[in-house]
Chain A
Amino acid sequence: MTAKLRLRGVRKRFGDHEVCKGIDLDVAEGEMVCLIGASGSGKSTLLRCMNLLEPIDDGTIWLDGQDISEPGLDPQPVRQKIGIVFQSYNLFPHMTAAENVMLAPRRVRGLSRDDLRPKVTQLFTRFGLGDRMEHYPDQLSGGQQQRVAIIRALAMEPQIMLFDEITSALDPELVGEVLDVLRDLRGQGMTMVLATHEMGFARELADKVCFLDAGRILEQGPPDALFAAPREARTKAFLSRVL
């Protein structure tokens, strides 16, 4: 079976600090992979490498068998296929929610607002934000903003979605509404990679959980196996701290 997204020996350093020290990972079509691990273990950087926001220093990344880590490759077509949602939402504060969502499809895919309106309205409605389309980000709660950010990424119709600790900045009572969106996407068969601290959620829905430690995937496997019977001492120690 060929993986949708395949990483081999991925290395990334910032200055003297090597954040990813040779990562191997396969993500199959329709699979949901959760990256867990302490802060600074390299989860976020790994996600940013996957959609080429950070160029990798060594190793290879294939998307559908195409080497997308080749230096000099135009990253834009790749980024259209791999959406990412950030911990801090990163909505454009000077645009309404609907304009945030429509900007990229308009500019990159050349669609008009009229073309987009029905689909965008449908996305907002699906995620419970039908009456928030004309609001500006600062008029929305954190959970609503994060849902808009997810819709913004989905509007480009990506084949893979990356989520970088998207509930970490939210008040606890708002986490649920964002996780519901992920559940919905999971049900639709979206290929997803999540960096997350929501262990319960990872256990419930992930196909595969990877424990990152100091820039390496120390252990990976189905959630039940990894959470119930971790092999590595460091995985055990981490899980005992967070569970």
Chain B
Amino acid sequence: MADTSLQPRTKERAADAPTRREVYEAGVRRRANRIALISTVSVVLAIVLLVPLAPGWEAVQRAFFNGRVFAATFPGLLEAFLLNVMIFAWSAPLIALTGLAIALCRDARAPALFPLRLFGIAYTDIFRGLPVVLVIYIIGFGVPGLGLPRPWNSPYIWGTLALVLVYSAYVAEVIRSGIDSIHQSQRSAAASLGLSDRDTMRFVVLPQAIRNVVPANMNLFIALQKDVALLSFIGPVEIFRQAGVYKSLYANFTPYVGAALIFLALTIPATRYADYLMNKQNRARS
């Protein structure tokens, strides 16, 4: 028991025996684990026992957790999810490059480049200030409305553009914070060697800045993976839209649960990994 460690020790400690402090801390840890376990089990039990007692449980179970519908629709959902992955795959590099370009615009110091700087500020202000779905609607319906010929009226092009516009604004801000995080002494050292501002940015500041903001950017790309589903509003039949089709077909909501599980299978590991990177970086810094 944990209490024993609190009793005075009279005997000499063997060389490999734990110290008084170690024994005490192990006791504290055991108690904490026990309390956490008990409280978790009681909460889970409460949910499992109480929720089915709700009057509508039977109906909800049929509508959302229907095994037969799940089995019938899951392969189709997985296939539709491939489209999400593809849209993500071509959007992500475009977003990274555009974000970097905008960040560099905002950092431009020469007076001749002031318009560029102004553009960078306006860009990040505007696109961080709008809901993603609104930008998708305006661009996805607006631009093809100009009467463009195929394939230039494709929702894939304009939907992708909308995602790139919004997400690159966030990425630009993250990269800019990375640039700001590089200590002035690094720029001094580069300048003292006769390096130009351009070379200083390219070889000294940016490589360090981008490394510093990898975890923060990963979080943005995880959010992007989810927001790809918003393109369904302008046409593409990706997983969310496909789940909607199945819902109407089977008159059952289970496909949405299936879609949610597919998203989580991807986003949870990615989030954990981003957190791991972030913690590693914080440890390295302290």
Contact = CB atoms under 8 A, between A and B. Distances in A.
What's the interface size class on A, roughly?
20 to 34
Contact of B192 (A51, A91, A92): A51
B10 to A, nearest CB: 44
Nearest to B198: A107
Interface of B: 185-186, 188-196, 199, 203-204, 207-208, 211
Given A107-B199, A107-B203, A88 B194 contact: no
A93 B208 contact: yes
A92 B195 CA distance: 13
Contacts of A86: 185, 188-189
10 contacts: A77-B194, A79-B194, A80-B194, A88-B185, A103-B193, A103-B204, A107-B203, A108-B196, A152-B193, A156-B194
Interface string A100-121: 0001100110000000000000
B192 A83 contact: yes
B193 A108 contact: yes
A43 B285 CA distance: 30
Interface string A42-77: 000000100101000000000000000000000111
Given A77-B194, A153-B193, A156-B193, A53 B211 contact: no
A150 interface: no
B193 A79 contact: yes
A90 B192 CA distance: 11
Interface of A: 48, 51, 53, 75-77, 79-80, 83-84, 86, 88, 90-94, 103-104, 107-108, 152-153, 156
Contacts of A92: 186, 189-190, 203-204, 208
B95 to A, nearest CB: 24
A69 B41 CA distance: 75
A80 B194 CA distance: 5
Contacts of B194: 76-77, 79-80, 104, 108, 156
A104 B193 contact: yes
Contacts of A53: 188, 191-192
Contacts of A75: 191
A100 B111 CA distance: 31
Contacts of A76: 194, 196
A108 B203 CA distance: 12
A169 B201 CA distance: 27
A150 to B, nearest CB: 12
B175 to A, nearest CB: 16
Contacts of A156: 193-194
Contacts of B203: 92, 103, 107
Task: Report the 10 A-B pairs with minimum CB-CB distance, sorted nearest first.
Answer: A104-B193, A90-B189, A80-B194, A79-B194, A108-B194, A84-B192, A107-B199, A90-B185, A76-B194, A94-B207
Contacts of B196: 76, 107-108
A107 B198 CA distance: 11
Contacts of B190: 92, 104
Contact of B186 (A51, A90, A108): A90
Q: Which of A51, A80, A107 has the most CB of B within 10 A?
A: A107
Contacts of B195: 103-104, 107-108
Nearest to A101: B193
Q: Which of B185, B194, B195 has the most CB of A within 10 A?
A: B194
B211 to A, nearest CB: 7
A51 B193 CA distance: 10
Nearest to A138: B284
B181 to A, nearest CB: 13
Contacts of B192: 51, 53, 79, 83-84, 153
A75 B207 CA distance: 25
Contacts of A93: 208
B237 to A, nearest CB: 44
Nearest to B207: A94
A104 B192 CA distance: 10
A87 to B, nearest CB: 10
Nearest to A79: B194
